[in-house]
Amino acid sequence: MDKTNEYLVNFKGHNFVKDVVNIEDLEKMEEFEIRDDDVFIITYPKSGTIWTQQILSLIYFEGHRNNTENISTVDRVPFLEYNIHNLDYAKMSSPRIFSSHLPYYLVPKGLKEKKTKTFYIYRNPKDVLISYFHFSNWVAIFEATDTLDQFLGKFLDGKGNCWFDHIRGWYEHRHDFNIMFLSYEDLKKDLRSSVLKICNFLEKELSEEELDAVVRQSTFENMKSDPLANYNYIINNKIGVRNNDSHFLRKGTIGDWKNHLTVEQNERFDMIFKMKMKNVPLKFIWDINEQ
Ligand code: A3P
């Protein structure tokens, strides 16, 4: 375990947010006991984690769909490596749904038995960059960065938490897992068919009304105004923010990067993307009007 900076701690080559990680949990992660009906959501930060947490929770829990249960998304679908509310994962009833930002080589080895279903949700990395820049300047447990140019430098360099390594690692090892890749942009462009795809992979059949409820409650507008779904309480009260001008659900769109990157920054990004994503044939959507 290396000390990286005052915000981060490095464990086996990957950086974790120091204030919310427990190194002992990471040390035991490989042996974490997996159940066949567990479901995992894997993401690089700012790629649609909370959105997928909400969708899966709505698919699985009737009490969530019909608002008879008052449980926040983060408790329904907790983070494997960031156990913010100190839940006893071994005592959770099945099916358990976890989310995680872990790279493929740090996840519990039981996932490789291929019974457990795993989603890898990815987003075009220019929008990830912009979302992450705003987020880490807002939330106090992250390192703030003065300018987007500096943040871009760190993002492209990616030491300890590299977007390119994360997605490539999971993609290249996809045959080791029972995994479905789905993009943020797919969700955004056609939420209903994406929810159906998710249900098919999960082998969960929902009625038309249930499907409507999942779609309705997982739109950006609905989640933004739903305190159980938008993390605002946890971020503002438990984790702490540097200013009150932001929200976890910030813009929720495709192509916001165009409002931020200069032509030169964009070209620099494209050059590195082209080099590092060679032979990763995943489809990326960079613009809201793109098909
Ligand atoms: P922006 O900052 O671009 O708005 P994560 O949960 O992985 O940290 O991702 C957060 C990003 O997903 C934020 O992006 C947030 O607004 C977006 N998001 C969350 N729920 C969404 C929804 N229902 N529809 C569209 N975007 C959503």
CA distance 86 to 78: 10
Residue from 120, 218, 231, 248 whose mutation best tests the ligand 1 pocket (most atoms within 8 A of CB): 248
Instruction: Note if the pTM is more than 0.95.
Output: yes
pLDDT of residue 5: 80
Q: How far is the CA of 251 from the centre of ligand 1 (A)?
A: 7
Per-residue pLDDT band at 238 (split at 50, 70, 90)? confident
Domain 2-276 matching CATH 3.40.50.300: the answer reads yes
Domain ranges of the chain: 2-276
pLDDT of residue 4: 61
CA distance 188 to 254: 8
pLDDT of residue 112: 95
Q: How far is the CA of 17 from the centre of ligand 1 (A)?
A: 19
In short, whether 18's Cβ falls inside 6 Å of ligand 1 is: no
Predicted confidence (pLDDT) at residue 239 exceeds the cutoff of 90: no
Q: How far is CA 244 from the centre of its chain?
A: 23
- Mean pLDDT for the chain overall: 95
Q: How far is the CA of 175 from the centre of ligand 1 (A)?
A: 28
Q: How far is the CA of 45 from the centre of ligand 1 (A)?
A: 10
pLDDT of residue 3: 47
What average pLDDT does this structure show over 48-73?
96
What does the pLDDT look like over 125-146, one tens digit per residue? 999 999 999 999 999 999 999 9
* Protein residue with its CA nearest to atom 9 in ligand 1: 46
In short, whether 51's Cβ falls inside 6 Å of ligand 1 is: yes
pLDDT of residue 236: 79
**Active-site residue, 247 included:** no
In short, whether 189's Cβ falls inside 6 Å of ligand 1 is: no
Predicted confidence (pLDDT) at residue 172 exceeds the cutoff of 60: yes
The one catalytic residue in 101, 134, 175, 247 is: 101
Q: How far is the CA of 60 from the centre of ligand 1 (A)?
A: 21
What average pLDDT does this structure show over 199-212?
97
In short, whether 251's Cβ falls inside 6 Å of ligand 1 is: yes
Q: How many CB atoms lie within 10 A of CB 129?
A: 24
Q: Please, what is the angle between helix 163-172 and helix 125-138, to 10°?
A: 130
Would you say 41 and 74 are in contact if contact means Cβ atoms under 8 Å apart? no
CA distance 171 to 177: 10
In short, whether 223's Cβ falls inside 6 Å of ligand 1 is: yes
